[in-house]
Amino acid sequence: MEVTVQWIRTSWTKRSRGGEAAARRNAVPVGFRLPPMVPAVAHVVRVRESDGFDAVDGQEDLRSVDVQLRERDGRLRVLPRIQPLFAIPPRPRRPPAVRLVPGQWVRWQLNYRFSSAAGVRGWSYWLDTFNIAYGPVEADVFLSPPTLLIDERGPVR
């Protein structure tokens, strides 16, 4: 199975909900150029408020990425997992998995809001963007528009 996965997690707090900090957060790209990678590894990009929204990239084992990938009958089934069941927004009805043919790729976005135990530290937020391609790709594949776009972002105010 030739699959390329890029996982971008942007995280912030209430301090970046408006003004200049929100502008920096909103300017975070939804796709990055791929570094040289070995099979079964995902390109993981972390963009944190605490780092001034500068991207820090690395690589992780594909199994550690919160997405289900299954190949069957010449297609790749893709469905991100929703791990933090306690997060907002609730997702009682999710979009179905997508099935990619070789040469296609999907961008799937999900957002979350968390509150600390007892509300001591206030709210924090995540935006996960999964860029997933099936088949061989060039390093700049995720800089172009996707074959499929699934926007599963919801209200987190």
User: Residue 115 in 3-state DSSP?
Assistant: strand
Q: 8, 6, 14, 7: which is closest to 47 by C-alpha?
A: 8
- What is the predicted pLDDT for the residue at 118? 56
Entry pTM:
0.92
**How far apart are the C-alpha atoms of 17 and 157, rounded to whole Å?**
10
Q: What is the pLDDT of residue 157?
A: 65
Return the amino acid letter for 80: P
Q: What is the mean pLDDT of each run of 10 residues along the chain (157 residues)?
A: 94 87 92 94 96 95 94 96 73 90 97 72 88 97 98 82
Among 127, 11, 129, 135, smallest CA distance to 75 is for 135
Place of tokens 């991207």: 55
Residue 100 confidence (pLDDT): 98
pLDDT score recorded for residue 16: 86
Q: What is the pLDDT of residue 82?
A: 85
